[in-house]
């Protein structure tokens, strides 16, 4: 059993990682059920809630931990070592909780005031079925790929904001209690099966003004929160949303390497004289190469996180070139993890793809999550290349930088 944190307790990263370590037998025991159910087993959510894994980005004012972006990476990576789907839900929930924490104080109070363990699931793509009404907006729409929605208390959804005449004037994030939405099961995939990334549906739901945040303003580092002394909530918007995709991948890479190395002394190499993989120079080279690729991924992810955290601590917006580099670092880190996992499966042998082997699930999870549109390596390299060559932000291929 993990020790449930009190509302006043803020653990160090090391303490939180030790709590997560205690949950890993539960997470690992539930991986098959999580995949079969296409949602995280509730025991996983309960154990990680008790450990505090969902409080990482919630303000300390509400009993949260208000950790750095680099610490957030470490938390989701640690969870993903035991279960990729659960690690992904921890990562996405914490980043959605972070977005809730840049709302005006009244919006934050709605979400976290009575529940410091509140969980937010989110989809940023906007619905245009929105009407301006007194005090807010009536919202209808469907938002697919909402990771962790089965276990969320609140939903973050993208909307097109109209004026009284119905003309679009802004794009925003709207926060709605999950009790006011329905979920349509649309998540049938090869990897990250347990994330429950289904479609959230709203039918004429009222959202007050104080639970909206302008997306263009967020991209420009103009946040609605009145608590401007909290450095975490000065972090650059798109870099934070991009980099969180790397955390679970780091954990998957570490898990694959650890498993292959642990099995190597007991496994031979078929149709050779090697009775133990560890005695083969070729195997040793594969392990060294895979480990180096995983280390490389960590170094790029950590650099990106440090760029975000250092700028936020200084109270300065992350410069355009650095923001573009975060996108490139994220894609590069994820690509290196996928390369390492491919290499490790080849080194371990064809039994990697046995249904009983965790390697096949790690491979499926990494390759599914690793193809998220925001982590596309060619797109992110082009974004960075244009920034390096002095092409202005307004002329780059996306505003999401």
What is the average pLDDT across 203-220? 97
CA 254, distance to chain mean position in Å, is 17
Tokens of 113: 């005031």
pLDDT digits (tens, 9 = 90+) for 212-252: 999 999 999 999 999 999 999 999 999 999 999 999 999 99
* Closest C-alpha among 226, 214, 217 to residue 106: 226
Is there a domain that residue 223 lies in? no
pTM: 0.96
β-sheet with 198-208: strand ranges across: 130-133, 136-146, 198-208, 182-184
The answer, yes or no, to whether residue 6 has pLDDT greater than 90, is no
| Structural domain of 127 | 120-214
Do 107 and 160 have their domain in common?
A: no
Which pLDDT band, with edges at 50, 70 and 90, does 127 fall under?
confident
Do 97 and 140 have their domain in common?
A: no
Is there a domain that residue 1 lies in? no
Do 63 and 150 have their domain in common?
A: no
- Final residue belonging to a domain, choices 182, 214, 246: 214
Do 288 and 204 have their domain in common?
A: no
What's the pLDDT at 357? 96
Tokens of 67: 């950790």
Do 128 and 108 have their domain in common?
A: no
Is there a domain that residue 30 lies in? yes
What's the pLDDT at 282? 97
Look at 7 and 354; give whichever has higher pLDDT. 354
Is there a domain that residue 78 lies in? yes
Do 293 and 387 have their domain in common?
A: yes
Which pLDDT band, with edges at 50, 70 and 90, does 8 fall under?
low
What is the average pLDDT across 372-376? 94
CATH number at residue 202: 2.40.110.10
Do 166 and 18 have their domain in common?
A: no
The answer, yes or no, to whether residue 4 has pLDDT greater than 50, is no
Which pLDDT band, with edges at 50, 70 and 90, does 128 fall under?
confident
Do 258 and 373 have their domain in common?
A: yes
pLDDT digits (tens, 9 = 90+) for 46-86: 999 999 999 999 999 999 999 999 999 999 999 999 999 99
**Percentage of the chain surpassing pLDDT 70?**
98
Name residue 172's beta-bridge partners. 159, 214
What is the average pLDDT across 181-193? 97
Average pLDDT, the chain: 96
Do 202 and 299 have their domain in common?
A: no
Q: Which parts of 191-270 fold into alpha helices (H)? A: 215-219, 237-243, 246-263
Do 373 and 245 have their domain in common?
A: yes
Tokens of 362: 């790690």
Do 390 and 290 have their domain in common?
A: yes
Do 20 and 58 have their domain in common?
A: yes
The answer, yes or no, to whether residue 2 has pLDDT greater than 80, is no
Rounded to whole angstroms, the Cα distance separating 120 from 177 reads 9
CATH number at residue 93: 1.10.540.10
Tokens of 250: 């780091």
What is the average pLDDT across 31-38? 97
Per-residue CA distances from 240 to 26, 94, 267, 301, 309 (Å): 29, 11, 42, 11, 10
Cβ distance 267 to 292 under 8 Å?
no
Phi/psi of residue 187, nearest 5 degrees: -100, 90
The answer, yes or no, to whether residue 1 has pLDDT greater than 50, is no
- Final residue belonging to a domain, choices 112, 128, 162: 112
Cβ distance 16 to 75 under 8 Å?
yes
Rounded to whole angstroms, the Cα distance separating 339 from 254 reads 13
Buried b (16+ CB within 10 A) or exposed e, 336-355: bbbbbbbbbbebbbeebeee
């Amino acid at each position: 059993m993990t020790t449930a944190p009190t509302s006043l307790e803020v653990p160090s990263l090391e303490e939180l990682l030790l709590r997560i370590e205690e949950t890993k037998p539960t997470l690992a025991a539930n991986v098959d059920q999580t995949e079969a159910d296409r949602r995280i087993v509730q025991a996983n959510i309960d154990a990680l809630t008790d450990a505090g894994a969902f409080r990482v980005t919630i303000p300390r004012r509400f009993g949260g931990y208000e950790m750095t972006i680099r610490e957030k990476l470490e938390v989701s990576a640690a969870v993903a070592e035991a279960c990729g789907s659960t690690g992904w839900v921890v990562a996405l929930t914490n980043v959605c909780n972070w977005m809730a924490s840049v709302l005006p104080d009244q919006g934050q109070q709605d979400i976290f005031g009575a529940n410091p363990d509140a969980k937010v699931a989110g989809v940023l793509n906007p619905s245009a079925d929105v009407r301006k009404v007194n005090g807010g907006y009536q919202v209808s729409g469907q938002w697919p790929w909402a990771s962790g929605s089965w276990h969320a208390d609140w939903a973050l959804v993208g909307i097109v904001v109209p004026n009284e005449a119905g003309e679009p004037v802004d794009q925003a994030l709207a926060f709605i209690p999950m009790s006011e939405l329905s979920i349509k099961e649309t998540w049938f995939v090869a990897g990250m099966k347990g994330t429950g990334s289904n479609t959230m549906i709203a039918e004429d739901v009222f959202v007050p003004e104080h639970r909206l945040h302008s997306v263009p303003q967020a991209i420009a580092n103009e946040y609605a929160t009145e608590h401007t002394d909290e450095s975490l909530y000065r972090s650059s918007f798109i870099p934070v949303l991009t980099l969180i995709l790397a955390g679970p991948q780091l954990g998957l890479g570490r898990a694959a390497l650890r498993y292959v190395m642990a099995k190597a002394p007991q496994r031979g190499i078929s149709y050779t004289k090697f009775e133990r993989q560890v005695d083969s120079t070729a195997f040793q080279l594969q392990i060294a190469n895979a480990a180096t690729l995983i280390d490389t991924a960590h170094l790029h992810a950590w650099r990106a996180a440090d760029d975000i955290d250092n700028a936020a601590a200084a109270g300065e917006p992350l410069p355009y070139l650095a923001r573009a580099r975060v996108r490139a670092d994220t894609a590069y880190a994820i690509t290196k993890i996928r390369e390492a996992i491919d290499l490790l499966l080849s080194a371990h042998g064809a039994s990697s793809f046995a249904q009983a082997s965790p390697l096949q699930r790690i491979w499926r999870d990494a390759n599914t999550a690793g193809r998220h549109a925001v982590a596309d390596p060619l797109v992110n390299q082009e974004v960075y290349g244009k920034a390096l060559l002095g092409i202005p932000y307004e002329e780059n291929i996306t505003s999401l930088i």
